[in-house]
Structure 1
């Protein structure tokens, strides 16, 4: 049975026209409850998502391109594990941002691209989603090692650099593996010969089970695991900094709270929505049309909030660092004076710190 057969048998089954979140393929009302007219939900999506996506695309591209530029011109080489992770994080964010124009177009015109582009865009989106979350986890682990085990971190600095590159390779390969459902199930579908949509279409015989498994994988690896590691690492870091006698301790604690808060506030609402979505796929409890409409609109809002992590990452993990800010200021001075050549842009001197192998401050400075 193809997708067209499913829409004929169950008028409440939808891909993108009724349920507008990117990973949803169906409504939650039972077949005997009647048709739930939700054209206004799609109209809301068409007016809400495109301008917001273009803003996220523009702001995120500027921030992440600056990070890449700093690492490839000002510093000219990667000196720490965090440098390696931040560069890979910016690359992942840039690739993720590259998918937003497609979704902005889809929100207003439907999917006007080919089936292969559909699979590619969804796969790239999911690969870089997982890569970003896992790289943020790696940064938390690296900060734990550099601040809590500072002596060991210094003694094995060269070996840690090798491990960081190996970790990045594993992150990218693992992210590709996690994105296989996008390659397998993504396809362009047309609902009642109207607009086309790029979405996941699961096998009809075990559609709900497959959807639950895919969503569970995204929630566990894309949020729960990173959150658990980040909170654990930064909790120990906070305890270490509190015990440390340094005038920079309070600044360090503020930075940690910003890092954790940015991650939780941007990702928790969206993943909470995914948990409810997976629950509904397993056991439908939403039976009122108004409730389903509200859930759909809420999904759009929390999804766009989660996408802002592409804009927040450069600010929280790069620009907030003392050394990075100095490098950025030095680059701006070189640009205003006309010295933009790579050989003329040199990294600014860095002051030592006993708390971090990044040679700045114990405040997770990068």
Structure 2
């Protein structure tokens, strides 16, 4: 979690200043109502979507492609990330009641899965570029799967390393679980954590998306005999959703970081407004975990086919209905030559 703090009737240290001390009763009351409700909705919807992705890949897709390996790891990162939200909902509504050890575990796990999610989104962008633009130069299927597994392991290890400050410095402080920084080097560590979050959590995946999807869009526009309009719409949707969900919070985070660097005391009114903005924009960023399954998996033809098989196995549809749909889908799908793994989906 970010380090904005809000206590009931206690004075609290403003996020944007180590000097100014303000009472933020209204901010605390707002968070007590807004955060538990919002977190509950995000948790339930995201849990259903990402769990369905994991079940489909484990029991039906069998992780046969590099694309499947990346999206499977993305679903795991989103799911584990979402599982920390109930703890933060209780923290916001009442206070942190789970002790120091769980504070370190939950805050660290939250950060690990946040970083791994953003880095895997970057890998997905590069993988789609390789599969479509560099289709004739890519490795064979077996080597691609091995390479993608190796990359995913590296992503998780790197995410754990980046989350070490959260594992080490997190502890209950008065009524909330937060990072408690050393008095001598607190501002330096705080700025370093914020800059890392902005670079890894927004800048890197955003740049990768812009570069890779721009070239992919150009390639699809030049392709013939392919229903490319849906793919182009998905490209736009992926980038737009990422920007809408992630950019507002990173702007607020940048404002907070610049305020720390300048070491200027801010007014209580300004500090409260920044806290409101941080609460709302960070919550909006969480919506991305619910939308990832839709943008990266649900719209794909292969996933639709596997999902229908799940419905058939659970008795929701008949074998005849499944056969009719699969036959219709087979007749209408026309993937780009040399990139069938990625373009058979419509979402790349």
1:119-134 → structure 2 map (5 Å cutoff)? 119-134=104-119
1:289 maps to which residue? 268
1:229 maps to which residue? 208
Is the Cα–Cα contact under 8 Å of residues 143 and 364 in structure 1 kept in the other structure? no
Secondary structure in structure 1 of the residue aligned to 2:177? strand
Secondary structure in structure 2 of the residue aligned to 1:56? helix
Secondary structure in structure 1 of the residue aligned to 2:22? coil
Select the residue among 79, 101, 105 that pairs with 2:90.
105
In 2, the alpha carbon distance for the partners of 1:218 and 1:356 equals 34
1:167 maps to which residue? 151
- CA deviation digits over 1:173-220, x for unaligned, max 9? 000000001011111122xxxxx2110011111211111011011111
Q: Give me the TM-score of the superposition, normalised by structure 2.
A: 0.89
Structure 2: 5+ residue runs without aligned partners?
Answer: 319-325
1:193 maps to which residue? none
Is the Cα–Cα contact under 8 Å of residues 16 and 257 in structure 2 kept in the other structure? no
C-alpha change, 1:60 and 1:25, in structure 2 (3 Å) is farther
**1:360 Cα shift?**
4.9
Is the Cα–Cα contact under 8 Å of residues 25 and 199 in structure 1 kept in the other structure? no
2:172 maps to which residue? 188
1:69 and 2:55 aligned: yes
Secondary structure in structure 2 of the residue aligned to 1:198? strand
Select the residue among 24, 28, 38 that pairs with 1:38.
24
In 1, the alpha carbon distance for the partners of 2:4 and 2:239 equals 34
* Runs of 4 or more consecutive aligned structure 1 residues displaced over 6 Å after TM superposition: none
C-alpha change, 1:307 and 1:25, in structure 2 (3 Å) is farther
1:125-274 → structure 2 map (5 Å cutoff)? 125-153=110-138, 156-190=140-174, 196-274=175-253
Is the Cα–Cα contact under 8 Å of residues 352 and 359 in structure 1 kept in the other structure? no
**1:15 Cα shift?**
6.5
Is the Cα–Cα contact under 8 Å of residues 137 and 229 in structure 1 kept in the other structure? yes
- CA deviation digits over 1:325-357, x for unaligned, max 9? 222123223323599xxxxxxxx6866632524
1:57 and 2:43 aligned: yes
Is the Cα–Cα contact under 8 Å of residues 131 and 171 in structure 1 kept in the other structure? yes
C-alpha change, 1:15 and 1:188, in structure 2 (3 Å) is farther
Q: Give me the TM-score of the superposition, normalised by structure 1.
A: 0.85
Structure 1: 5+ residue runs without aligned partners?
Answer: 1-13, 191-195, 340-347
Is the Cα–Cα contact under 8 Å of residues 14 and 22 in structure 2 kept in the other structure? no
1:88 and 2:38 aligned: no
**1:359 Cα shift?**
6.2
Count of residues in correspondence between the two structures: 335
RMSD, aligned α-carbons: 2.6
In 2, the alpha carbon distance for the partners of 1:234 and 1:266 equals 18
In 1, the alpha carbon distance for the partners of 2:316 and 2:38 equals 35
In 2, the alpha carbon distance for the partners of 1:242 and 1:25 equals 53
1:311 maps to which residue? 290
1:279 and 2:258 aligned: yes
**1:320 Cα shift?**
1.3
